[in-house]
Chain A
């Protein structure tokens, strides 16, 4: 009996077109992924690496939830839907056979459908290779195991889970809609859960609870190097094993429950509810003469009817239980997204209004999209699907009444969707105790900018549903249109918003600059799309299905007869608006500003390199004195500036040509005046596309000659562009730098990716900077070739309401012609690196007093409302000046300033005695939890440290020199942080560094460089640098290392003549602090790539007779060496000095921070492999560990500490 049911199920399914459609969907998707897939982030990993295949299979198994719901939801429902249950169940078959046959038959089909994925992918790869989407060397060999293993571990269990879930849901509830909505809800819930797991702390829990094991997979593989990504599959052990056992177990339990619970009686039973509510018939006397009524058919009556009908339509949507369910899920989603926000280093931000608004662009977009598409279909087709149209179509109302009411009802749904963002935002803020609701920001953003986008989506979906005139096809086409647009934008890399319905530039809200100039561009785009949407509505109205006609020809004919002057007039008017706004947008995006596709941009960059790289080594003069006058016009978004620069020929060759390159941050910057020693040089070559110009000098500059160059520039940020760039000169919070003036010679290559370089005919490039021995590199500073030490002064003017700032001491401030002027002057030489900032600032002042009575004026220029964390900045500056002054060298300036700038960029940058600092980077952070990292303090210390590392010690332009600037600033900041907050906060902080380093090397596209020769990799200079230097001071002693660093500063600070310092010189000083026994560590860390795999195994303790405790610690240790590509090259064989610790339960320090309570903590020489240690402690221990503070680079830092068992 089972077999015949099973076979019937298979045969039935094989005849259903849907089976093939599902297969085709997966096949097609995988085919496209195979053709266009870029594979992992690293260019060195194969596009078909084992990692990629595994990830693809898991991700698709999640999306296959929808297919699983469709396939597994129907086998039982089929008998309910077609009413076959009424007789089918009377046949002599056993419930168990019936259920098992249907279940297994469907599941086999589901499995066969899922094979579309690997097959499609395998078919796509050769095509992608054939059409040149990727190079042959990026395709690895076919390894069947790479497909079979993840299918067995992930695909099948995941399908088993979702399939069983939906099968059981329908078999037990008899309701098939639960599968559609259930899959959407499960999907949303899954995304939600993922969104909550950005915090590093709760990863283990998430690893186990993720039903699809995607997070688990990501966590297991996240530190894989490109080579490992190509060849490894995740081992079925640890969290992954627990996860799989758990979810297969859950699925199995659910299946068994359904299996034993299922009964025909249950399926046959009519819903109890309906029976109970069954209405009784009355036998009332029939009487009453029908009253005569007055009917009126006028425009105003129609209008009123439309509004009434709108309310009814809206009620129909709003009372739909599934609508409420999806909306509610979305609200929870919005709320939690807002609640957890965007932590930086695990520290949350205040629930500012713009953060509350920005969560709408997270997963809520998807959610709103689902509601809009789905309910547009419901509303458009409702009258038809419930057969109400059969009577209502004959009512004496014009089409537009019905049509309009439906569109209005959907518009109300859009208003509800948008308002949810407001409700959740305000709720979040209130619960968090933050009452600074910025209503105007809420309303402007939601109702002026966001609502039109939802309406545009609705208009298109509405139009499609009317034209297609079939609910299911309508959904498919609507979603298809968006997928198509998305695919073109991502695969073809064309994102010209004017071509993509309802797309528009992005924008960023800022407390300082508000909506900036974004409202204008967004509004133009909104008008553009709304007018097109209006045209679609007018056409849709002509095609509004009414009556029984459904053939395209008759509908077209009907549309013609319905057409009239008003429709034509309206269409023409809207088209005029559409074309006019489109033209204006085009003018702004492509004429006033420029638009390039990614390919065009790369080609431009390649062309630039081909044309001008030949000037890379051509001698050019250097600036020795700079005197600048700059006028900023924030309201007009423009500036003009004039610089007087003394030029020196520091090379050994004569210079007759000056190459000027303009790469100003300000739009449309051009040179308005140029004289050399009072004479205009001859322009011999002009390239306005690449903004590169050659000028013949009036007089050849012999080596050692000086000249006076006066150059004036003017620039203006006009209109708006395609992407929504914030521009440089803004209404409040301008921050530009010396780059507004032209630079000399060749500024450097634009394209760094070897993949792109090959594609555009450029040679592959290992390093950007020359080796440590290169004489040209040694003669230049790392950050600019255009000048060494210079004298500097600047006069900067701005609007009267704003303060303008540039490096230097304020000499004079005055008002002239309604403008405010500031004159700044440096009394010492600085490097050629200066900013010009202007904003409406409030200023917080303080003074640091040095040990010798010297003082430094501290000034924090901040947005008036951002006064919450000012103390932290000031405290950090003082602590930094203390520490660096004591341990490195005296501070070279008399002032230290921090300037806030809008959050269009997210960084802080250290100019001489002046640090511009992004609005979102600490100013609005919520540091109320003492366990959260005080990154405002840390980042400030880092930037202050740059006054030494980058403004005193000037690294040369050679390989490895970046570490002198960035790794040293990290180290310095870590020391200041530890001094202030103690050891307790270090581990958490360093864990972020470790994570960043390991992720960075996993996505490396060339090779991982060492600390001595790295020139481009931020993960090496920040992350690895901070880890290594922190561990080094821990090994050799902080004072010991600092003495070596002090000697290094003494020897190199303010070095006026080349050769400037290199990583080799830096390393030679560091090595002086290291005893021979620890040389292995510096060699491993600076010259090689070495990673530890330390772990504590099951360990225990016993109470001794004297009341003390003997702890037996079982550890294992391994040190692995890697080459730059990520291949293991061998294990370390000698012992390493590693912390061993035994701990009591965690306590709190006096700041309220959680701290480990060591009962025993000492460094041991630990041999590779397993070893056992015995330690005696006085108090009862709870846990022990090897390298428990994660000072070493360890791929799995979480298994270093473990609870102890009592013996």
Chain B
């Protein structure tokens, strides 16, 4: 099964164009969506998750027309939005059982099994009888993960899922996700570039509503091979460097400003070659679209 997005456009009533002629083809496995805040990641994900209309274009999932056959999409969808809540005065187990019912799991035993397993996998088994209103942010996020994985979703959309999780929980979550991801389409939006590097077989970078890069992370990194240069400079010199070179990112290191410059050859003697990472890909692509000032 393939998710194919073609010429997708969306403009909000306030005039902001959230999606601009988006074309993507997503296969089974983990797909990473990278982009700065307000790039349109969430808009795109909501549209795939049937929660937002598109102005034009099409999305198909196998035989399903996502934009019109919403019911069909929802039957195979697992969705974890960036922000969500639950009824505060209901226990985790009860709520999850209820959601299992809503996801069409009619068999009582099956429901119990899957709820139990999921609670364990997201490490909430010990608070299953507590009202969700009393949960900490991380616990609530894990509850969200659990509900997204309920049923047998074949399309999983998770928007910034690891926000608020400590490193251990984050690992647990990624393990769980990759376990499922083998046989499903998993769309993961994040701004942690490292996560995409580690997890995703495919990715896209979105900026200002446009897809500005897509492909395998390693392939994208390859394109920058030998073109990344780094130098430590004084803060005051930065403007000057910006004028002279294509500075794609700046970083403070030991009181000095370290800059990354994209160039076919060594810009000057002070620069040393660095191995390009996905982060450099991200910044180089974004900086083509918008002015980045990171320091």
Contacts and interface: CB of A to CB of B under 8 A. Distances in A.
B242 interface: no
Interface residues of B, number: 62
Contacts of B87: 312, 316, 382, 386, 388
B104 A291 contact: no
Interface in A553-575: 553-554, 557-558, 561
A287 interface: yes
Contacts of B172: 286
Given A296-B104, A390-B85, A391-B80, A291 B110 contact: yes
A293 B71 CA distance: 19
Nearest to B49: A394
Nearest to A285: B120
A290 B71 contact: no
Interface in B96-129: 98-99, 101-107, 110-111, 113-114, 116-118, 120-121, 123, 125-127
Contacts of B103: 295, 395-396
Interface stretch (A184-192, A301-309, A954-962): A301-309
A308 to B, nearest CB: 6
Interface in A304-357: 304-305, 308-309, 312, 315-316, 319
Given A279-B127, A382-B87, A396-B102, A549 B75 contact: no
Given A390-B85, A547-B46, A396 B74 contact: yes
A387 B110 contact: no
B201 interface: no
A131 interface: no
Contacts of A395: 74, 99, 102-103
Contact of A391 (B75, B118, B138, B144): B144
Contacts of A289: 117
A398 interface: yes
A370 interface: no
A548 interface: yes
B75 A297 contact: yes
A548 B79 contact: no
Interface in A261-293: 274, 277-279, 281-284, 286-293
B88 A291 contact: no
Contacts of B84: 387-388, 390-391
B180 A394 contact: no
B293 interface: no
Nearest to A312: B98
Contact of B134 (A277, A295, A304): A277
B180 A290 contact: yes
Interface stretch (B146-154, B231-239, B269-277): B146-154
Contact of A293 (B13, B79, B114, B116): B114
Interface string B125-160: 111001000111011000010011101100000000
Contacts of B256: none
Nearest to A551: B13
B13 A309 contact: no
Nearest to B14: A551
A439 to B, nearest CB: 35
B117 A284 contact: no
A301 B123 contact: no
Contact of B135 (A279, A551, A561): A279
B217 interface: no
A284 B152 contact: no
Nearest to B104: A295
B163 interface: no
Contacts of A281: 123, 138-139
Looking at chain A's contact residues, the main secondary structure is loop
B52 interface: yes
A85 interface: no
Contacts of A287: 120
Interface residues of A, number: 53
B51 A290 contact: no
A548 B46 contact: yes
A720 to B, nearest CB: 46
Interface in A356-405: 382, 386-388, 390-398, 401
Nearest to B78: A394
Given A279-B130, A297-B75, A547-B50, A290 B114 contact: yes
B104 A309 contact: no
A319 B172 CA distance: 35
A394 B152 contact: no
Contacts of B104: 295-297, 301, 396
Contacts of B291: none
A393 B117 contact: no
B123 A284 contact: yes
A817 interface: no
A177 to B, nearest CB: 14
B209 interface: no
A688 interface: no
Contact of A282 (B113, B125, B148): B125
B86 interface: yes
Contacts of B77: 394, 396
B268 interface: no
Contacts of B13: 551, 553
A547 to B, nearest CB: 3
A90 interface: no
B51 A394 contact: yes
A301 B144 CA distance: 24
Nearest to B143: A391
A601 B250 CA distance: 86
B81 interface: yes
B106 A557 contact: no
Contacts of A305: 101-102
B90 interface: yes
Contact of A554 (B53, B126, B152): B53
Contacts of A296: 104, 106
Nearest to B134: A277
A301 B106 contact: yes
Contacts of A293: 105, 107, 110-111, 113-114, 151-152
Contact of A286 (B88, B110, B120, B126): B120
A392 B144 CA distance: 11
B83 interface: yes
Contacts of B46: 547-548
B225 interface: no
A1057 to B, nearest CB: 86
B289 interface: no
Given A279-B136, A289-B117, A386-B85, A549 B98 contact: no
B121 A286 contact: yes
Interface in B53-75: 53, 68, 71, 74-75
B52 A547 contact: yes
Contacts of B106: 294-296, 301, 304
Contacts of A387: 83-85
Nearest to B51: A547
Nearest to A550: B13
A13 interface: no
Contacts of B152: 292-293, 295
A546 interface: yes
Given A286-B120, A286-B123, 10 more contacts: A282-B125, A290-B121, A293-B113, A294-B105, A295-B104, A386-B86, A391-B144, A392-B99, A393-B51, A561-B68
27 contacts: A278-B134, A281-B123, A281-B139, A282-B125, A289-B117, A290-B118, A290-B149, A293-B110, A297-B75, A312-B87, A312-B90, A316-B90, A390-B83, A390-B85, A391-B84, A391-B144, A394-B50, A395-B99, A395-B103, A397-B102, A401-B102, A546-B51, A547-B46, A547-B51, A548-B52, A549-B52, A557-B53
Interface of B: 13, 46, 49-53, 68, 71, 74-77, 79-81, 83-90, 98-99, 101-107, 110-111, 113-114, 116-118, 120-121, 123, 125-127, 130, 134-136, 138-139, 144, 147-149, 151-152, 172, 175, 179-180
- Which 10 A-B pairs have CB atoms at the shortest separation, nearest pair first? A387-B85, A547-B51, A295-B104, A396-B74, A386-B85, A390-B84, A394-B79, A282-B126, A396-B75, A390-B81
